[in-house]
Structure 1
Amino acid sequence: MKKTLQTLAVAATVAATPAAHAGDGQFQLLVLAMPTKYHYEYIPVARESFEKLAKLHAFELTWTAQPSAFEGDLSKYAAVVLLNSSGEEFNEAQRNGLERYMKAGGNAVVVHRAIIVAKPGQWPWYEQLVGRNFVIHPMLQTAVVTKADAGHPATFGLPDRWIWSDEWYEFSNPHGVQIHPVLKVDERTYDPTKIWPGQVATGMGADHPVSWWHAYEKGRVFVTALGHNVEMYRDRQYLDHLWGGIWWAATGRGQQPR
């Protein structure tokens, strides 16, 4: 327990202060990565990977653990990334800031835990931004991920059938949002019912998206449910997937007609 608390403290310290990495100015990206009970060890690893991406692809990166960043002027950012950091943590001013940004043509990337809202209905606007509501997930398992849209940049670094281990989130669609799936998981390759005592998961069947995009307000939204643990932020194929989604959200480029 002592080691875990020390790790959490270090992660929080690393991510507590906004830091900018200057690229050659293709665009500016804001990443929010807040340490939480279940997601904190990934933060220093993800930050290092994002900084490498910024150097490689010549964009400007602002990394923060503080949602107060959403109270300021977001107009300079081509996209904002909610990295395992759900909008449910935002206060009213921060919620208003994100809404203003999207309504003015801003773009968002929602990663893994950022999909989840503990109290559905508390901020319906955010649920519609994400496009789906989290219901439950079975235990982390290995499964086969398939391409639902091979023309999207978030798939370009992936094989047609990708063996991946993650928490396979199950979703509902209470707001009737139309999404465009990018990746799906083949439920025949894992056990959707394998879950902790007292909980029930049944799976979603053949139509089980784990990544998607859609238009919202005046902007683009890219969502991936993948990215549960720290090692994923060292994995080349996962980073290719994530970077492809970010690049598309920030620029609108690279998507091939289906």
Structure 2
Amino acid sequence: MARPLLLLLCVLLLLPIRPAAAQGQFRVLVVAQPNRYHHDYTVVAKPRLEQMARQHGFDLDWAWNTAPFDGDLSGYAAIVLLNTPGDALARGQRGALESFVRAGGGVVAVHRALIFGPAGDWPWFERLVGRAFRIHPMVQTATVRVEDAGFPAAFGLPARWIWSDEWYEFGPPLVDGLRTVLSVDESSYDPTRIWPGQEARGMGVDHPVAWYHAYDGGRVFVTALGHPPAAYDDAAYLQHLYGGLWWAATGRGISAD
């Protein structure tokens, strides 16, 4: 009997050790599919978001494409579409995202994720984002104003914040209930500074650049900020991003209405 037991022990020692079960307070999927104008950011964003996960004690899975939408999303509290627009998802994958949100999942849409395909191509996703992208001028420095200091994505920011980015312009809200977190002061930059053959006029006094809302059973945080790769190495921006992610994943951080 001793010899078989010894052989069994040797076999067990040679087997790979399985990683321990996830111990974080919640699990997040980040989908960062590089595209024509947004690819350099990824080499900065991945280690910084992984560091964010370690700092705040949550589990993070990173995907360079939309393949996770072909699998089981139920283990995630939130999905971050990091410069990954809705039209990157195939038809079946779109249904998976809709089911995830209807089951109470959170979504964080960052920068390029706000630019979806032709109007009417995926109305559900258009309403999830909440506003339709129109155009943006060249990257410029501007003054960002905190409009909702009681939302976690604004906790680490001053009332007026100097930031450089592509200042996306949007049409009117596509759904009711959008809550603006940050806006940009158009008097602090030139909304018409754009490439030849294009025209941007700005949005006027009301120019939101980050907002949130409850949508179809889930929670959605949207930020238009995040074009320059250096943004993902900036402590204030990362705090802004985590505040929105924390709320999207848990619903915590704000008082109930």
With the length of structure 2 as denominator, give the TM-score of the two structures.
0.89
Residue 206 of structure 1: CA displacement?
A: 0.7
Residue 173 of structure 1: CA displacement?
A: 3.0
Instruction: Tell me what 2:155 maps to.
Output: 156
Q: Is the 8 A contact 1:21 1:61 kept in 2?
A: no
Paired with 2:167 and 2:156, the residues of 1 have a C-alpha distance of 21
Q: Is the 8 A contact 1:131 1:179 kept in 2?
A: yes
Q: Is the 8 A contact 1:222 1:249 kept in 2?
A: yes
Q: Return closer, same or farther for 1:199/1:61 CA change in 2, 3 Å cut-off.
A: same
Listed as ranges, the matches of 1:5-44 within 5 Å are: 24-44=23-43
Paired with 1:23 and 1:226, the residues of 2 have a C-alpha distance of 30
Listed as ranges, the matches of 1:186-225 within 5 Å are: 186-225=185-224
Residue 24 of structure 1: CA displacement?
A: 3.0
2:63 aligned with 1:64: yes
Residue 71 of structure 1: CA displacement?
A: 1.8
- C-alpha deviations, 1:89-109, integer Å up to 9, x for none? 111111010011111111100
Moved more, 154-163 or 67-76: 67-76
Q: Return closer, same or farther for 1:257/1:103 CA change in 2, 3 Å cut-off.
A: closer
Runs (5+) with no aligned partner, structure 2: 1-18
Residue 23 of structure 1: CA displacement?
A: 6.2
Residue 68 of structure 1: CA displacement?
A: 1.7
- C-alpha deviations, 1:185-218, integer Å up to 9, x for none? 0011011111111111111111100000001100
Residue 177 of structure 1: CA displacement?
A: 4.0
Q: Return closer, same or farther for 1:211/1:68 CA change in 2, 3 Å cut-off.
A: same
Paired with 1:251 and 1:94, the residues of 2 have a C-alpha distance of 24
Moved more, 173-182 or 129-138: 173-182
Q: Return closer, same or farther for 1:145/1:21 CA change in 2, 3 Å cut-off.
A: farther
Instruction: Tell me what 1:124 maps to.
Output: 123
**Partner SS state of residue 222, structure 2:** strand
Residue 174 of structure 1: CA displacement?
A: 6.5
With the length of structure 1 as denominator, give the TM-score of the two structures.
0.89
Aligned-pair identity in percent equals 57
Paired with 1:104 and 1:256, the residues of 2 have a C-alpha distance of 22
Listed as ranges, the matches of 1:179-190 within 5 Å are: 179-190=178-189
The structure with the larger Rg is 2
Paired with 2:67 and 2:226, the residues of 1 have a C-alpha distance of 24
Paired with 1:234 and 1:256, the residues of 2 have a C-alpha distance of 30
Residue 21 of structure 1: CA displacement?
A: 11
Paired with 2:173 and 2:149, the residues of 1 have a C-alpha distance of 27
Give the aligned CA root-mean-square deviation in angstroms: 1.7
Paired with 2:208 and 2:192, the residues of 1 have a C-alpha distance of 17
Q: How many residues align?
A: 239
Paired with 1:256 and 1:218, the residues of 2 have a C-alpha distance of 18
